[in-house]
Amino acid sequence: MIPTSSAPPISGIEQTVTPTFMHELGALPKRTHDRVEKALAVLKRDPTNAERQLDIKKLQQVDAWRIKIDDYRVLYQFDDRVMTFISVLPRKDVYKKLGIPDEDGLTVVPDVTLKPVVPPQPDGLLPHPLTLELLEVWRIRGEDAHALAACRTEDDLLEASVPYPVFSKVVDLLYSKKWQERLAQPSYVLAKPTDLEDLVEGRLTTKLLRLDDHQRHLSALGLEDARAPIVVKGGPGSGKSTVALYRAKLLVERFPDASVAYTTYTNALVEASKEQLAVLLPDDPHAVRVSTVDSLAKQMLETVEPIGTILGATDPLTLQIFEEVAVHKPPQLRKFSARYLLSEFFDVIELTGLDSEDAYLASPRAGRKAPLSAAHRKLIWRLYQNFHATVTAAKAVTWATLRKRTLDAYQQGHLKPSFDYLLIDEAQDLSPITLRMLASIVKTPGGLYITADANQTLYESSFTWDALKEGWPQAQVHVLERNYRNTAEVVRALADIRESLAMEDSEAALTESLANGPKPRVVTTSREREVERLVEEIREASRLHKEPQRNVAILVAGTQHQARDAGIELARALKAHKLKANYMSSSGLRLDADCIKILSLYTSKGLEFPIVILWNVVDGVMPRNVSELPSEEQTEEQLKDRRLFYVGCSRAMRHLAVFTREGEESELLYELQSDHWDFINTHTGKEPA
């Protein structure tokens, strides 16, 4: 749909604005500001300009319209009943700043940086002095204004202690974004007439992110009459979790008396989801019950039976019990390590709910590569029985057994379905038993809404789409294909990793976004220089992307324990270089913290950051040394590490760097292509492509 004066009136128009448009609008003279707001109100009522109240013109070589208001030009796009307002700048330099053809279509303005008022200096002076008078015009006042007025250089600005929305506004007004960058920005819906002014003034904390048409369709699909589960799958950055969160919002608004739960696998994702739901549902942020899968199962089961101590595969008590029963391990099992046998107990027998020797003998052992003979399986089953009996005697239970017992309690009628609607995010990390348990918690199959990407499986490797379909044969499966997170360069770099992984789900492949940036890089350095080089990388990336250091995430390779120890040590080292940095566990994650976030790769799953640096990607850590396992199992374990590497790299929105050490380079890095990655060695410099 395009606005032409001869077209009939259109109803149901949605207006959205980009962050940069909001910032530019807030910096206009009051008379012009008021006229722009009035023009948007007129377009809302008369989108085709049939009444000819506005001076509107279609740009010839860019898919956009311009509105003439005094000496300013408002540029917007209008497509399928949605108007997106992208820029409002002075006529004299609007097209030069945006790097697009002028409105007469005569001259293509080169995509160059606008000459600043203050010429670039070696010490990186800001292009405009941030005076208190200028900041007042930009509607920045109080302590924030005084903190910014003290900034003289880009580094001062990047380290200024101001809220990120204020920082973002200043960067937008100092360094105008090009047209393509603006198109890649998210846009926010103007739901009420007052929303525009509230957004500009910072009064509107609830920013409704606009979903694309397909995402919006999937978020509302079957809202009134769903009879079967709905499954949404897609690659990283496709918006699966955002669609699920909007689904939760719609359910609460449409059915205020319904019980709605939202569950995912890790504490970090739970905390991130709570933060986002608080924005989507400001009047009742607790209307949706948000918890991990295991927490939900525990809360349900302990209402009908005692649970006792809950054990994970690597807990000290688990290892102690295994050592006790392994004393009597038959000679035929001596070639199998403790880690391998515990993995067989937890990841095969318990995860898939095998309850007899015959069931174990018949099991395909999903996710395991090395075959086991019937004789070996019988001996492992007997060892497992001893292990299970000892766990029970210690008044303990494993997490997998707890989920199975919760499922049994529902199937036997001891527990009744608790929720009208259940949204399951990141379902690829759940076993078939766990998915069946969750299905029992919801009152009807139509109350289930599931998102997943089999290519990002990290935890419970028995997940398959076939198993999901067996559990819910009537499920409606839909695919999200567009990537909204990463730059095109990051997507191309990720393709190298996907190729080495033989990904399970080709439908969840990434498509390139509109955003562009530098090629991801592999940085090889010495142990002595690695922290110093990391500090340089952080500062360089922060300057390049005009992002404060709080938007940097360092993802540490290794097991959870290795990553924690290395992350805490790294935080100390960065603080010694006067950088604010903190290691954050999954349960202690604070995305709004004013510091560099140091996380384990596992904790980063489901999150995104403008600048991502993978740390300690060295031989023996990623991939791990698993030489004690059978050769086939070594392949499977290293495949898990490749998946983890893929997940970590895909967290990067704009900047990605992978750090390794000279002489200890990870074999994962040999599979990356110089067409898509820059390779930098601190001793030899950048290697030629």
Instruction: Determine the distance from the C-alpha atom of residue 499 to the mean position of all C-alpha atoms in its chain, rounded to a whole number.
Output: 22
The amino acid at 507: E
pLDDT for residue 584 is more than 60: yes
Residue in the block written with tokens 């392994």: 326
Q: In what order do the strands lie in the sheet with 448-452?
A: 288-292, 260-264, 421-424, 448-452, 230-234, 476-480
Q: How many CB atoms lie within 10 A of CB 169?
A: 25
Question: Measured between alpha carbons, how far is 437 from 439 in angstroms, rounded to an integer?
Answer: 5
Q: In what order do the strands lie in the sheet with 678-681?
A: 581-583, 596-600, 552-556, 609-615, 652-661, 521-525, 678-681, 685-686
pLDDT for residue 635 is more than 80: no
What CATH number is given for 489-681 in this structure? 3.40.50.300
Question: Measured between alpha carbons, how far is 682 from 689 in angstroms, rounded to an integer?
Answer: 16
DSSP class of 349:
I
Check whether 235 is labelled as a binding-site residue. yes
pLDDT for residue 551 is more than 80: yes
377-392 pLDDT, tens digit per residue, is 999 999 999 999 999 9
**CATH superfamily ID and name for 213-303+417-480:** P-loop containing nucleotide triphosphate hydrolases (3.40.50.300)
pLDDT value of residue 121: 46
Per this entry, what is the length of the chain? Answer: 689
pLDDT value of residue 598: 96
Task: Give pTM, 2 decimals.
Answer: 0.74
Highest mean pLDDT pick, 10-19, 423-432, 673-682: 673-682
pLDDT for residue 6 is more than 60: no
Dmax (CA) for the chain in angstroms is 90
pLDDT value of residue 107: 43
pLDDT value of residue 2: 45
pLDDT for residue 437 is more than 50: yes
10-108+175-200: which CATH architecture? 2-Layer Sandwich (3.30)
Check whether 127 is labelled as a binding-site residue. no
Question: Measured between alpha carbons, how far is 424 from 340 in angstroms, rounded to an integer?
Answer: 30
pLDDT value of residue 542: 93
Ramachandran angles phi, psi of 5, nearest 5°: -65, -20
Check whether 445 is labelled as a binding-site residue. no
37-87 pLDDT, tens digit per residue, is 999 999 998 998 999 999 999 988 788 999 999 999 999 999 878 899 999
Check whether 413 is labelled as a binding-site residue. no
Say which residues have a Cβ less than 8 Å from residue 502's Cβ, sequence separation at least 6. Answer: none
- Asked if domains 10-108+175-200 and 213-303+417-480 share a fold, the reply is no
pLDDT value of residue 533: 96
157-204 pLDDT, tens digit per residue, is 988 889 888 999 999 999 888 898 898 888 888 866 777 777 777 665
pLDDT for residue 492 is more than 80: yes
Check whether 446 is labelled as a binding-site residue. no
pLDDT for residue 116 is more than 60: no
Which region holds residue 353: left if phi is over 0, alpha if psi is between -120 and 50, else beta?
A: left
Q: Please tell me whether residue 252 adopts helix, strand or coil conformation.
A: helix
601-639 core/surface letters (b: 16 or more CB in 10 A; e: else): bbbbbbbbbbbbbbbbbbbebbbbebeebbeebbebbbb
Residue in the block written with tokens 């995509």: 111
As a 3-state breakdown, the chain gives helix, strand, coil percent values, each rounded to 5, of 40, 15, 40
pLDDT for residue 119 is more than 90: no
Per the prediction, the chain carries an average pLDDT of 85
Task: List the beta bridge partners of residue 676.
Answer: none
Check whether 312 is labelled as a binding-site residue. no
Q: Please tell me whether residue 391 adopts helix, strand or coil conformation.
A: helix
Question: Measured between alpha carbons, how far is 293 from 407 in angstroms, rounded to an integer?
Answer: 13
Among the listed residues 481, 427, 478, the one whose alpha carbon sits nearest the alpha carbon of residue 219: 478
The amino acid at 243: V
Question: Measured between alpha carbons, how far is 365 from 343 in angstroms, rounded to an integer?
Answer: 11
Q: What one-character-per-residue DSSP string does 135-179 give?
A: HHHTT--HHHHHHHHT--BHHHHHT--S-HHHHHHHHHHHSPPPH
Strands 288-292 and 260-264: parallel
Q: What is the mean pLDDT of residues 343-353?
A: 88
Q: What one-character-per-residue DSSP string does 267-301 give?
A: HHHHHHHHHHHHHH-TT-TTSEEEEEHHHHHHHHH
Q: What one-character-per-residue DSSP string does 444-494 give?
A: SGGGEEEEE-GGG--S-TT--HHHHHHH-TT-EEEEE----SS-HHHHHHH
pLDDT value of residue 461: 52
Start-to-end Cα distance in the chain? 46
pLDDT for residue 626 is more than 70: yes
Q: How many CB atoms lie within 10 A of CB 511?
A: 14
pLDDT value of residue 384: 95
pLDDT value of residue 335: 82
Ramachandran angles phi, psi of 69, nearest 5°: -135, 105
Element (H, E) at 324: helix 316-326
Whether residue 631 contacts residue 595, with contact meaning beta carbons closer than 8 Å, is answered with: no
Check whether 236 is labelled as a binding-site residue. yes
Percentage of residues of the chain with pLDDT beyond 90: 50
Check whether 241 is labelled as a binding-site residue. yes
pLDDT value of residue 112: 36
pLDDT value of residue 458: 46
Domain map (residue ranges) of the chain: 10-108+175-200, 128-174, 213-303+417-480, 309-394, 489-681
Q: What is the mean pLDDT of residues 662-681?
A: 92
Give the residue, 286 or 482, on which the prediction is more confident. Answer: 286
Give the residue, 435 or 612, on which the prediction is more confident. Answer: 612
Which two structure tokens, joined as six digits, stand for 162? 């101001």
Q: What is the mean pLDDT of residues 96-117?
A: 55
pLDDT for residue 501 is more than 50: yes
Give the residue, 394 or 203, on which the prediction is more confident. Answer: 394
Give the residue, 472 or 606, on which the prediction is more confident. Answer: 606
Confidence band for 109, pLDDT divided at 50, 70 and 90: very low
Window from 66-75, 442-451, 631-640 with minimum mean pLDDT? 631-640
Percentage of residues of the chain with pLDDT beyond 70: 87
Integer angstrom CA distances of residue 565 from 116, 172, 341, 568, 581: 46, 38, 26, 5, 15
Say which residues have a Cβ less than 8 Å from residue 547's Cβ, sequence separation at least 6. Answer: 158, 541, 610, 611, 654
Q: In what order do the strands lie in the sheet with 65-69?
A: 56-58, 65-69, 72-79, 82-90, 14-17, 188-189
The amino acid at 687: E
Whether residue 435 contacts residue 275, with contact meaning beta carbons closer than 8 Å, is answered with: no
